[in-house]
Structure 1
Amino acid sequence: MADIADIVVVGGGVHGASTAWHLAKRGVGNIVLLEKDGIASGASGWSSAIVRMHYQLESLVKITMYGRELYGDWANIVGVGESGFRKVGFLVLFPEDEIEQGQKVVKMQNRLGIDTRFISKEEVSQIEPRLSIDDVAAGAWEPNSGHADGSTVANSFIAAARTLGVDVRIGTEALGLTTNHDKITGVETSEGMISAGTVIVEAGFRTSALLEPHGIDLP
């Protein structure tokens, strides 16, 4: 008989682990997370894990604002493990033809309440004297940004998700998605089938291979 879950999350990197924890925190039901190898064994474990908020899309900036809050106050928000976050600042460099766009981004960030400022070429050199600034016209400085640790974040999310009842199955591979009348109904795994109302695939470069047979073409 197949296992039954409300939600199956495929992938044990930062995205999959974060999704499982956030859903469990909301109490959405029975959650199973599948990871073929080990937690953060893919791109998450090799990521530079930069925590920054300088993006052109306001919707993305708002998401990263939450991420910065989460990583910086992990103990109070997640309560299990740590993020490895270090506040070292984030510096963006602009050539002459990108100054106007850079100013727009900083203005938008300021409107959203982010501590960031547009700085001159000379200020760039003061912040990081080792930089060659021959082709730099200006910059943007986020003093409260920095970097976390991808492996630490993923493993901490997993530990926290387990305390909320998430069934984490390391070493179980998602072989394919099952369907019924064009609706995804579950996951065929190396350990058998899991029926699920919702399947979330966050398996890094393996994601496309799972989705393509169902007509879903990722960029």
Structure 2
Amino acid sequence: MDTLNKLKDINLTNRFLDKIKSEVVSEISIMEVCGTHTNVILKNGIKDLLPEKIKLINGPGCPVCVTPQGYIDTAIKLSKKENMIITTFGDLMRVPGKESTLSKEKALGSDIRVVYSPLDSIKIARENPSKEVIFLGIGFETTAPIIAMSIKIASDENINNFSVFNSLKTMPEAMKSLVLNPNIKIDAFLCPGHVATIIGENQFKKLAVEYNIPMVIAGFEVND
């Protein structure tokens, strides 16, 4: 609890800010990779507190934002099949495909259900043995374990009417694409603590060494 209190201590925040202001001598662009970092930065006005020479860039922290339109179009096509139930996280419902969205298709009669967890889809599959249940597997490394668990449970219980339409991404690969993009100037990365909890630090370290770009793994409190 003492550590958590320090991460929210305004006096410590001011000390960090004073140190940053005293040491910044040139312009620097830092990308916070994770959407949770972005939320904390915006909620607490961190951009306004930092020196003008420090530019914070929002990264690809939302897996929905880096989902190709073709995936949505395919999901919509699947939803129109007979005896089909599509399950998905809620943030995918309004993402536009070429001509429609999952939300519109649900309104038109397709059986599309928002779930909190892919494990909820297993329950739906059990309760609807005559229908095919497809979970839209969107996410980064933090979502992959629970999706893998749902597949294992379905296999262990011989639930044959459950499947996953996979579009999982890996955070280091997304970051690599950004580093290689000549139109984006990134001097450093703020890496997501929860992804590092799943995959460790080595993938980020490898990327930092290969492309000679500083990276720091951090959690999601203000002083992180």
TM-score, normalised by the number of residues in structure 1:
0.27
More helix by share: 2
What TM-score, normalized to structure 2? Answer: 0.27
- As a proportion of its length, which structure holds more strand? 1
